[in-house]
């Protein structure tokens, strides 16, 4: 095949795309991060933001809510059931890319403010009481409503939160039960507080006599979610695989990007585009694109009518979209 210069840096393209996304959505403190740190922090952010989808609300056996918080709780519960945006009830610190929610990273527990009205920045009014909850794709598990701040400074370390989960939905913790050890020393709340501040993960002994570790995946020594680090590493490896797929057999890649072409370009510019939740790789001027999926690389080549239809929807047609 003739000589062809390839210009491609998929990871840099991805980081450029998420910087633009974060800037347009009002996030802060991401410009000071390296690309590697940004990719990890972005994965952590995606874990904390709750996707809009209907969920069934389940209440713990010991659930309580003071009268002053019931209006906000009812509103939030309605949003969950309807599948509407509830991220305005999260901590406003979620917009800081350097923010580490250690309760979430350690135990996988969300906390939501219960304001019934919203501020101009899109967040609800901050409240003395917060809802503690676990969330899956189809369910939200309401653990309890408790005060936070000066009136309850130990909230984020209260092991009773895990005991409530254990008593109401033990299956949520089953995969985190420590096995294979004869005994694990019990860690008090004050000890766990000090360990968490030092960014040390610790097993917690609950009322059933078993110890549980990392119900939220745990955190690294800098406080970053270990799950975010793992997902970022996996995604970067996926991009490396896509790059190797293209470069190890450039003739094949050119035939896929430019099917039926008799004269291939002397220079090939390959880019990554982030279109919502879809990650695609395109070549300038090509009617085809590569979608990066968890288990495979898929090429698509569109007919001219389909190209026109997708263009009107803002979907990938070629690198000019």
- pLDDT value for 321: 33
pLDDT greater than 50 at residue 318: no
Question: The tokens 């092991």 sit on which residue?
Answer: 159
Which residues are CB-contacts of 307 (< 8 A; sequence separation ≥ 6)?
A: 287, 317, 318
CB neighbourhood size of 75 (10 A): 16
Three-state secondary structure call for residue 133: strand
Please state, in angstroms and rounded to a whole number, the distance separating the CA atoms of residues 135 and 54.
12
Could you tell me how far CA 196 lies from the centroid of its own chain?
A: 21
Please state, in angstroms and rounded to a whole number, the distance separating the CA atoms of residues 23 and 32.
13
Please state, in angstroms and rounded to a whole number, the distance separating the CA atoms of residues 110 and 142.
10
Mean pLDDT of 247-272: 82
Among 115-124, 144-153, 245-254, the minimum mean pLDDT is found in 245-254
Q: Would you list the domain boundaries of the chain?
A: 5-16+249-313, 33-228
pLDDT greater than 90 at residue 201: yes
Helix axes 226-247, 250-257, angle to 10 degrees: 90
pLDDT greater than 80 at residue 297: no
Please state, in angstroms and rounded to a whole number, the distance separating the CA atoms of residues 261 and 238.
28
- pLDDT value for 279: 86
* Segment 239-258, tens digit of pLDDT: 998 898 888 888 888 888 88
- pLDDT value for 319: 38
CB neighbourhood size of 165 (10 A): 24
Could you tell me how far CA 91 lies from the centroid of its own chain?
A: 15
The three state secondary structure string of 281-313 is EEECCCCEEEEECCCCEEEEECCHHHHHHHHHH
Backbone angles phi, psi at 23, to 5 degrees: -65, -45
Where are the alpha helices (H) located in 25-66, listed in sequence order? Answer: 35-48
If phi > 0 it is left, if psi is from -120 to 50 it is alpha, else beta; for residue 85 that is: beta
Q: What is the DSSP letter of 123?
A: P
Please state, in angstroms and rounded to a whole number, the distance separating the CA atoms of residues 161 and 130.
13
């Amino acid at each position: 095949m003739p000589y062809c210069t390839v210009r491609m840096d998929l990871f840099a393209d991805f980081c450029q795309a998420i910087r633009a996304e974060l800037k347009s959505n009002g996030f802060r403190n991401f410009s000071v991060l390296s690309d590697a740190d940004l990719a990890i922090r972005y994965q952590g952010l995606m874990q904390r933001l709750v996707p809009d989808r209907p969920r069934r609300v389940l209440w713990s056996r010991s659930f309580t809510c003071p009268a002053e918080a019931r209006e906000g709780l009812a509103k939030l519960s309605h949003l969950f059931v309807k599948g509407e945006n509830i991220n305005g009830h999260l901590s406003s610190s979620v917009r800081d890319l350097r923010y580490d929610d250690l309760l979430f990273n350690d135990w996988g527990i969300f906390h939501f403010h219960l304001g019934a009205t919203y501020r101009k920045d899109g967040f609800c009014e901050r409240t003395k009481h917060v809802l503690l909850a676990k969330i899956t794709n189809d369910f939200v598990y309401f653990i309890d409503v408790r005060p936070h701040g000066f009136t309850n400074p130990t909230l984020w370390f209260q092991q009773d939160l895990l005991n409530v989960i254990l008593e109401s939905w033990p299956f949520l913790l089953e995969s985190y039960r420590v096995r294979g050890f004869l005994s694990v020393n019990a860690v008090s709340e004050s000890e766990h507080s000090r360990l968490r501040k030092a960014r040390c993960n610790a097993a917690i002994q609950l009322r059933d006599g078993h110890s549980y570790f990392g119900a939220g995946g745990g955190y690294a020594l800098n406080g970053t979610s270990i799950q975010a680090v793992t997902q970022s590493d996996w995604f970067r490896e996926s991009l490396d695989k896509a790059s190797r797929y293209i470069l190890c057999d450039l003739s094949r890649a050119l035939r896929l990007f430019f099917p039926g072409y008799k004269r291939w370009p002397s220079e090939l510019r390959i880019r990554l585009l982030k279109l919502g939740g879809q990650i695609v790789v395109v070549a300038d001027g090509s009617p085809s694109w590569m979608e990066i999926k968890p288990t495979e690389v898929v090429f698509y080549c569109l007919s001219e009518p389909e190209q026109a239809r997708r263009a009107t929807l803002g979907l990938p047609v070629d690198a000019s979209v």
